A and B are shown apart, each in its own frame.
Chain A
Amino acid sequence: MLEASKLTKRYNAVIALDALDLLVEPGQIYCLLGPNGAGKTTTINLFLGFIRPDGGTARVNGQDVASHSVETKKDLAYIPEQVNLYRSLTGLENLEFFTGLAGHDYPRDKLLEFLLAAGLPGGAADQRVGAYSKGMRQKVGIAIALAKNAKALLLDEPTSGLDPLASYEFSQLLRQLAKEKVAILMTTHDLFRAKEVGSVIGIMRRGTLVTTMSTEQFSHTDMEKIYLEYMK
C-alpha cells in the first residue's frame, strides 16, 4: 500500500508538491496524469526517498519513507521511463545483481523464468544489455520487480517511447501484477494507456492533485475532456 498524507515539497520558493493526499490500495493501479512540472516525478521520488519532504509523509505499507528509507524500498520496485542497466553485463547478470542486492538468491533457472515472465525473448538473457532495445530493458526492469516480489510498484512514465506492441505487453503485465495484489502507482502522459490499465486516475497540476476519478465511471472521451478542462 502506498499512502501520501499532506505530502509537500518545495524547491526554494517553488512549490513542487502541495499537500498531496493519495492512497493506492493493494491490487490497485493508480495513474497520475499531468503536464510536465505537475509534480508527478516529485511524488515518485518522495516515495523512493530520493528527496526529503518539506511537509507531510509518504508511507509504504505503513512505514514512513523519510525515516525508513532503506527498509521501505525492500517492499518497492521502481521502473523509470528509461530502465538503466549495466551495459557490459547480460540481462541475466543484471537481474542476478539487482535481486541479489535486494536480498534474494535465485538459481539461474529461476532468474530465466522471471525474464521470460517479463516477456524477454529466450535467447536475450545471455546477451549484453548494451545490445538491448528500450523495450527489452523495460522488461528486465519488470523482471527485477517480479523477482523482488515487491508489494508496491512505482512507474515513472514507463511506456514512454515504447512501440504499441511493447506498450500492450507492458499493460498486460501490470494487470497481472495488480491481480497479485501489488499496489501500483504510475505516472504517465498517456491518457489512453491510463484508461486502459488504471483503476484510478489522478490529475495533477502545479503540484496539486486537482481531481481523481475511477476509470470504470468515465469513457475515454469524457476523461480527455475533464483533463483538458483542468489544464486550461
Chain B
Amino acid sequence: MTRPIWLVLVKEIRQMRRDARLLAAGFLGFLLVAVASFVGVQHHQIVTQQKREAAQTERSRWLNLSDLGPHGAAHFGIYVFKPETPLMAFDPGVDQFLGVSVWLEAHKQNKFIYRPMQDAGAVQRFFNMTPAAIIQLLGPLIIILLGFNAFAGERDQGTLRQLLSIGVDGRFLLLGKAAAVTGVLFLVLVPAVAMAIAAGIGLSADVSWLRLTLLVFVYCLYLGTFVGLTLAVTARAGSARSALAFLLAFWVVNGFLVPRSVAEIADWAIPLPSATAWQAGMEAEIRDGHATALELQVKRELFAQYGVDNVDALPVNWRGIMLQRGEEQNYPVFDAHFGKLFDGVRRQDIVYQWGGLLAPAVTIQSLSMGLAGSDFEHHKGFVRAAEEHRRVIQKTLNEELTLHPEKEWGEYSAGPELWARVPEFQYALPDLRDLMWHYAPAALILLAWCALAWVLALRSATTLRP
C-alpha cells in the first residue's frame, strides 16, 4: 500500500531536483531562514547576556549601598530585568513591545521601560524577521510555491490523465505529493530553526522540553494545514494558474489582512485606556504614604497600644509602621488598576484567538508566543512577580525601620547586612497547565483547520478528474 506513495514521492523529488529554478528558490529560502535564525540567536544571546549583567550590576549596586535609612534605600529602589526564555530566540513575541525592565521603589508600582521596538525602524515594526515570523509567513508561501501545480500542473500538462488511467488511488497520489512538499519544506526550514532552538537551549538549562515539543507540534499542525489546503486547491483547480492565484490570495489574507484586522476588531470591541489616562486614573486613587492624616492615625493607634503619649516613648519606630501601612493601603489600588488592564488585554487576546476561525496564522501566532513565553500572559506573570518582590523589599525595609525607634527622622542608618537580607529577585515561568485554558480556543481552532484541510484534500483526491 505504501509503494505507490513512495513512487510518487521519488518522482516528485526527482522532478524538483532537476528544476533549476526551484533549486535556486529553495536555496534562497534556506538562506533567508538561516540568516533570520542566526540573527535571532545572536540578538537573543546579546540581550540575555546584557540582562544577566545588568541584573548582576544592579544586585551589586544594591548590596553596596552606603549606610543610609531603610526608607531612603527603598527610594533608591532596584531595577529587575525580565529574563529571556530559551525559546524567545525563536519567537520574541510581544515581549519587544512591552519593555524589559521595571524599577521597584517605595510607594508605587511602576510601568515597564526599555521596549526594544522603540528603537526599531518602520520596516522592522511592520515585519520583524524572527524565525517564528519566517515560518508563519514564508512557510506557507514555500508550501504554496512547491505544491500549487501538484495536481493542477499535471492537469495542464496532461500527465494527470495518463496517471489516472493507470488505476491508482488518488489518495496515494495525494500522500506522495504531500510527503514530497513536506520533505522539501523540512530541508528548507528545519535545519535553520533547529539551529536557533539549539542555540537558545544552550543558553539555559531550564528549557521546558514540554514547551519545545508542543511548539514543534503546533507548527507541524500549522504547516500541515497549508499542505492540505494547497493540495485540496490544486486537486480542484481548473489550471495551475488559477490554483496559484487563489492560494496566493489566501496567503495574503492569512498572513497580513486577517491578523491586523482581527487585532483592530479586538481593540474596538474591548477598548483599553490610553497609557496616560490609565496612569492618571491610578495615581488619582493612590494615597500618599507620608500623608499627615495617616501619620496621625498611626500615632494615635500606637499610643493607645503601648499606653504612651509621645513618639519618644514608643518601643517601635512609628515611621516604619506608617510607611508599611501606606504601602498596604495602596495594594488594592494597584491590583485593581493593573488587574483591570490585564483583564482587558486577556479578553482582547481571546477575541484575537477566535479570529483564528478566519485564518490559521492568528492561531499559530498566539500559540507560538504562549509556548515561547513571550506573550502577554507571561509578561503579566512577570509583572506580578516583580510587584510581589517590590512588596517583599518594602516589608523587609519597613520592618527593619520599625525595630529601630528613633527620636528624629533619619537617625537610623542601615548597612550591608540589611541590604543582603533583601532576597535576590527570582522568576520562574508560569506552569504551562495554567495557560492551557487560555490558549484552548487557538489550539482547537488550529486543530480544526488542519482537519478541515485534510478532509478537503482527501475528498478532492478521491474525486480527481483529469
Question: What residues make up the interface of A, taking CB atoms closer than 8 Å to B?
Answer: 48, 50-51, 70-74, 76-78, 80, 82-89, 93, 97-98, 100-102, 105, 128, 141, 144, 148, 154
In whole angstroms, how far apart are the Cα atoms of A85 and B166 in the complex? Answer: 13
On whether the beta carbons of B7 and A78 are closer than 8 Å, the reply is no
| Band of interface residues on B | 20 to 34
Chain A, Cβ-Cβ closest to B464: A50
Give A104 to B14 CA distance when docked, in angstroms: 20
Which residues 1-59 in B have Cβ within 8 Å of A in the complex? 3-4, 7-8, 11, 14-15, 18-19
- Chain B nearest CB: distance from A152 CB in Å? 12
A102 vs B4: C-alpha distance when bound (angstroms): 9
Kindly state whether residue B290 has any CB partner on chain A within 8 Å. Answer: no
Query: How far does the Cβ of A128 sit from chain B's closest Cβ, in whole Å?
Result: 8
- Complex formed: what's the CA distance from A196 to B7 in Å? 39
Q: Is B157 an interface residue (CB 8 A)?
A: yes
Taken together as a complex, chains A and B put the C-alpha atoms of A102 and B466 apart, in Å, by 17
- CB of B158 within 8 A of CB of A82, answer yes
Nearest 9 CB-CB pairings of A with B: A73-B167, A84-B158, A78-B165, A88-B18, A101-B168, A100-B7, A74-B167, A84-B159, A101-B166
- Whether the Cβ atoms of B164 and A50 lie closer than 8 Å is yes
Please indicate the chain B residues that have their CB under 8 angstroms from the CB of A97 in the complex.
7, 11
Q: Which residues of A contact B168 (CB under 8 A)?
A: 70, 101-102
Question: B279 at the A/B interface (Cβ < 8 Å)?
Answer: no
B420 in the interface (beta carbon within 8 A): no
Among A73, A86, A97, chain B packs the most CB atoms within 10 A around the CB of A86
- Total A-B pairs in contact (CB under 8 Å)? 71
B300 at the binding interface (Cβ < 8 Å): no
* A71: nearest chain-B partner, CB-CB: B167
Q: Are A80 and B167 in contact (CB under 8 A)?
A: no
Contact residues of A: prevailing secondary structure = mixed
**Cβ distance A155 to chain B, nearest Cβ, rounded Å:** 12
How many angstroms between the C-alpha atoms of A154 and B165 in the bound complex?
A: 10
Known: A84-B157, A86-B11, A88-B15. A102 touches B167 (CB 8 A): yes
A50 → B minimal CB distance (Å): 5
Q: List 25 A-B contacts (CB under 8 A).
A: A48-B164, A50-B465, A50-B466, A51-B465, A70-B167, A73-B165, A76-B167, A80-B158, A82-B158, A83-B162, A84-B159, A84-B162, A85-B162, A86-B11, A87-B157, A88-B14, A88-B18, A88-B19, A97-B11, A98-B166, A100-B3, A100-B7, A101-B8, A101-B172, A141-B162
B171 CB → nearest A CB, Å: 10
User: In this assembly, does B309 line the interface, its C-beta being within 8 Å of a C-beta of chain A?
Assistant: no
Q: How far is the CA of A154 from the CA of B161 in the complex (A)?
A: 13
Give B contacts to A, CB under 8 Å. Answer: 3-4, 7-8, 11, 14-15, 18-19, 157-159, 161-169, 172, 465-466
What is the minimal beta-carbon distance from A102 to any residue of chain B, in angstroms?
A: 5
B7-A101 in contact (CB<8A): yes
Q: What is the CB-to-nearest-CB distance from A130 to chain B, in angstroms, rounded to a whole number?
A: 10
CB atoms of B15 and A89 under 8 A apart: yes
Residues of A within 8 A of B167 (CB): 70-74, 76, 102
Smallest CB separation, A222 vs chain B (Å): 35
Given contacts A50-B466, A73-B166, A102-B166, 6 further A-B contacts (CB under 8 A): A80-B158, A85-B159, A93-B11, A98-B163, A100-B4, A128-B18
- Chain B nearest CB from A20 CB (Å) reads 20
Chain B contacts of A82 at CB under 8 A?
Answer: 158
- Cross-chain contact A98 with B162 (CB below 8 angstroms): yes
Within the complex, the shortest CB–CB distance from B15 to chain A, in Å, comes to 5
Contact pick for B14, options A70, A78, A93, A98, CB 8 Å: A93
Residues of chain B contacted by A48 (CB below 8 angstroms)? 164-165
| Interchain CA distance A43-B332 in the complex, whole Å | 83
B11 near A89 (CB under 8 angstroms)?
A: yes
Q: Closest residue to A48 on the B side, CB-wise? A: B165
Evaluate contact between B161 and A76: CB separation under 8 angstroms.
no
Shortest CB distance B416–A (Å):
76
- Chain A residues near B8: list those with CB within 8 A: 101
Please determine whether B169 and A70 come into contact, CB atoms closer than 8 angstroms.
yes
Residues of B within 8 A of A93 (CB): 11, 14
Q: Report the Cα distance A80→B164, complex, angstroms.
A: 13
With a CB–CB cut-off of 8 A, which chain A residues contact B163? 98, 101
